Amino acid sequence: MRVPIEWLRDYCEPHMDAHTLAQRLALTGTEVERVERHGVMAVENFVVGHVLERKKHPDADRLNVCMVDIGGSTPSQIVCGAPNVAAGQTVGVARPGAVMPDGTRLGEAKLRGIASQGMILSERELQISEDHVGIMVLDDGVAPGTPLQDVLQISTDVLVLEITPNRPDCLGIYGVAREVAAATGAQLKPAPWEHDVGSFGELEGIEITNEAGKALCPRFTARILDDVRIGPSPLWLKARLMAAGQRPISNVVDITNYVMLLTGQPMHAFDYHRVAGRRLNVRRARPDEPVETLDGQTRRLDEQILVIADADGPTSIAGVMGGARSEVVETTTTVVSEVATWNGPTVHRASLKLALRSEASGRNEKGLQPEQTLWAQAVATKLFIEICGASVRPGTTDVGGPGPEPLTIRLRDARVSGLLGVTIPRERSGQLLHSIGFGAADAADGLDVTVPDFRRADVTREADLIEEVSRLDGVENLPATLPASHAAVGRLTPTQRLRRRAEDALAAQGLHEIVGWSFTGPELGNKLLLDSDTSVTLANPMSSEQSQLRVTLLGSLLDVAARNRARGTDAIAIFESGAVYEAESISTGHLPEEPHHLGALLAGPVRAATWRDQRPPRADFFAAKGVLAGLLTTLGVEWDVLPGQPAPFLHPGRAAIVLVGGEEIGWLGEIHPSVAAHWDFDGTVASFEIDLSAIAPPEPARFKDLVSFPAVNEDLAIVVAESVTTSELLDVVRQSGAPLVQQAEVFDVYRDEQRLGAGKKSVAVRLSYRATDRTLTDDEVARQRQFIVNALSHEFEGTIRAGE
């Protein structure tokens, strides 16, 4: 909403500059986006001139050399290219030194050899209209040299307001003036519609019906104006429209726009003689019914859209835009002035459906009040008479009438102080409410407040009144207190603490956390060989790459890894902690599951090369497994991996299923080279992803005495077939070694066909035997060892290699 200060002053003079006013408005609830200057930057050097003489330029057909009296002792010689310049005209002149709206400073110039002391102005040069075919001719009777600003608004500050959707009453200059008055204490002048020169009662000459009903069209009013003379609007009207952001067209159209900008109520002018059958009916459009709108386009409607139809069909899309068929033209002499109230959501849907937004639809969709229609009729009637020379027919058609009786709400003193935490005296509340048009009468425990019609939709409850009082009283200086609660207990849940520990554990191992997009697209599914049909899909994505929600963190990790590598980072160690989205439950009407995953990715050297370690190892399966081990050990959960092919995007020989507490919670592996190649990786990329939501926070650890009695350590070299996994081997060692074996770790794997035989390997295991209640004897250890040896022999035909 653009509010020219010059226009605002007609209704309220706040006696402060635009920036101070903007600040006051911001602190009472009207957001000011910015303050702009419309027109010239400074009014100096713009004066009224009388053209004394016009001669042809000797060397240029299109130029004239004029002598112009601008109030000085001698006339100024000005070269002018306008075809309409003539002796005897009163014009606007910019003297040398004038600063034009675009910021250029006028100097003395020579045009084709003739000196020019300034410029005779066109409307466009002053931003009064877009007219530039000729110079602007002013009314006679103004002395030369008079400052131009005295006869015409050539410069004003404009407040650009952001009006919140609950305040359509502020979508008009007068509504803003009311807020300005309340915010600054300045006097609000009477509303421009208070003296209506029109009359009420039956209007002859047109038949109005409302087939759509009162819910969709609460009020429809019309007046008829005869003897209308179509022509350009006066300069002051054009200047105001331009400052407010509307292009002047012709006097009748400009008046309808001016009325809308002033009252907030859109209106429309029909050419009476082009209304077929002299009747207008409000009805729902028929399916696919066409209508040609004012902008020359034919639009196809549906039954959700309201139209105003005459005997020949739709002539206007209700609340959105008028039709071409009955628009006002140069030959128009009689005008139907139509102002109606529309159901907001209906206009909103029509405007969406047709992708047609207008100043009118933007206001109508907020839901205006029926009383506003007569505001607009009153102002429009006055202007049609003054500007177009029109005469108004007696009577006003009024289908629907005014809105419901005003609501009276009790505003309890105790409730005001109870909600705000500060006391606002009842008298002060009353004054504040008065200043914005509310009635307030004393009651036993507060005020009985009457809501004005133009705030009917927004203010319906006591809380709404408290908001009005508090914003105008000023909330910027409220004291600061804290809730006096005895029941506020703050802590993280065990699951939230577990997540923090997990993230910290990965960062502690040198991985940087990334935050990827939840969005993904079918392209990623294709690259990862996943079935993307199971993804949550957006109805209105910004792009195909962002049309679904991710089912794995791997896409973000690969994207970020590839981007960093392309920018020169060789060693990649990153992780993400975030949700993935499982679409299955949507088909049953439920929300998707959103398990919280942790994913990590390693590529390139595991540590930086230095002058004494020039080729550090590159990340592979075991590097990723190390990070996973660090993570799960930190969390204190039992974990293991199983050989397997948990995901199609993994290297078939270097992939594993991650188990926690025996349950499958994720995968670990090197990315399949042909998958990694999509991200231009030619080396190894190792990664894992686990479902953190599937890990229960562990129980408190139980104390074990590992200090009082010494451990016995020994190494066993066990020869087994290649097919036996380390995990299987250790399981047997631990089971058969119980209860004395406390730890069993592999520290070497050795292959030698001649000494061990084909298809065999020797796995060296370091064992630690311990009892918690005694020092172990050699015999005890030997007996336990024999159990292990027997079990290995039984399970795997494993043998012990002696003497190594």
Partner 1 sequence: MSFETRITELQGEGKAAIAAATTSAALEDVRVRFLGRKAELPNMLRGVAELPPEQRGAVGKAANEARQALEAQLDARAGQLAVSELNARLQHDRVDVTLPADPLPAIGRLHLITQTRREIEDVFIGLGYQVAEGPEVESVYYNFDALNVSPTHPSRLMTDTFYVEPVSDIFDPETKLLRVHTSPMQVRAMELQKPPIYLIVPGRVYRPDSDATHTPQFHQIEGLAVDDGITLTDLKGTLLEFARAIFGPEREIRLRPHFFPFTEPSVEVDVSCFNCSGGLTAEGERCGICKGTGWLEILGSGMVDPNVLLHVKDNGYDPEVVQGFAFGMGIERIAMLKHGVSDLRLFYDNDVRFLEQFA
Residue (488 or 701) nearer to partner 1, CB: 488
Q: Which position among 172, 367, 452, 669 is part of the footprint of partner 1 (CB under 8 A)?
A: 367
- The distance of closest approach from Cβ of residue 96 to partner 1 in the complex, given in angstroms and rounded to an integer, is 33
Footprint on residues 630-669 left by partner 1 (CB under 8 A): none
Instruction: Give the x/- contact pattern for partner 1 in 173-202, rule: CB under 8 A.
Output: ------------------------------
User: 3-state class of 21 per DSSP?
Assistant: helix
If binding is defined by CB under 8 A, does position 549 make contact with partner 1? yes
Footprint on residues 23-62 left by partner 1 (CB under 8 A): 26-29, 31
- The distance of closest approach from Cβ of residue 587 to partner 1 in the complex, given in angstroms and rounded to an integer, is 9
Residue (508 or 738) nearer to partner 1, CB: 508
Residue (64 or 556) nearer to partner 1, CB: 556
Residue (363 or 770) nearer to partner 1, CB: 363
Q: Which residues contact 573 (CB under 8 A, 6 or more apart)?
A: 509, 510, 511, 512, 600, 601, 602, 606, 619, 627
Q: Which position among 142, 443, 586, 791 is part of the footprint of partner 1 (CB under 8 A)?
A: 586
User: 3-state class of 246 per DSSP?
Assistant: coil
587 DSSP 8-state letter: G
CA torsion, ordered 601, 605, 607, 609, to nearest 10 deg: -160
If binding is defined by CB under 8 A, does position 574 make contact with partner 1? yes
Kindly provide the b/e burial profile for residues 192-217, where b requires at least 16 CB atoms within 10 angstroms of the residue's own CB.
bbeebebeeeebeebebebebeeebb
Whether the CB-CB separation of 579 and 595 falls below 8 Å is answered with: yes
Residue (533 or 748) nearer to partner 1, CB: 533
Footprint on residues 610-629 left by partner 1 (CB under 8 A): 610-612
If binding is defined by CB under 8 A, does position 673 make contact with partner 1? no
Residue (16 or 43) nearer to partner 1, CB: 16
If binding is defined by CB under 8 A, does position 491 make contact with partner 1? yes
Whether the CB-CB separation of 217 and 197 falls below 8 Å is answered with: no
Q: Is 526 exposed, middle or buried (0-12, 13-18, 19+ CB in 10 A)?
A: exposed
User: 3-state class of 8 per DSSP?
Assistant: helix
Q: Which position among 480, 701, 707, 802 is part of the footprint of partner 1 (CB under 8 A)?
A: 480
Task: Give the span between the Cα atoms of 315 and 318, in whole angstroms.
Answer: 9
Helices (H), 413-536: 413-420, 426-435, 462-473, 494-508, 522-527
Footprint on residues 66-125 left by partner 1 (CB under 8 A): none
Sign of CA dihedral 560, 562, 563, 565: positive
If binding is defined by CB under 8 A, does position 591 make contact with partner 1? yes
If binding is defined by CB under 8 A, does position 141 make contact with partner 1? no
- The distance of closest approach from Cβ of residue 84 to partner 1 in the complex, given in angstroms and rounded to an integer, is 46
Residue (347 or 676) nearer to partner 1, CB: 347
Instruction: Give the x/- contact pattern for partner 1 in 438-477, rule: CB under 8 A.
Output: -----------------------x-xx-xx--xx---xx-
Residue (694 or 717) nearer to partner 1, CB: 694
Q: Which position among 581, 639, 667, 769 is part of the footprint of partner 1 (CB under 8 A)?
A: 581
User: 3-state class of 3 per DSSP?
Assistant: strand
Residue (352 or 529) nearer to partner 1, CB: 352
Q: How many other CB atoms are found less than 10 A from the CB of residue 75? A: 19
Pairing of strands 548-549, 137-138: unpaired
Whether the CB-CB separation of 598 and 506 falls below 8 Å is answered with: yes
660 DSSP 8-state letter: E
- Residue count of the chain, please give it: 804
- The distance of closest approach from Cβ of residue 224 to partner 1 in the complex, given in angstroms and rounded to an integer, is 33
Footprint on residues 415-444 left by partner 1 (CB under 8 A): 418-422
Q: Which position among 72, 345, 406, 698 is part of the footprint of partner 1 (CB under 8 A)?
A: 345
Footprint on residues 262-291 left by partner 1 (CB under 8 A): none
Q: Which residues contact 684 (CB under 8 A, 6 or more apart)?
A: 603, 618, 619, 620, 670
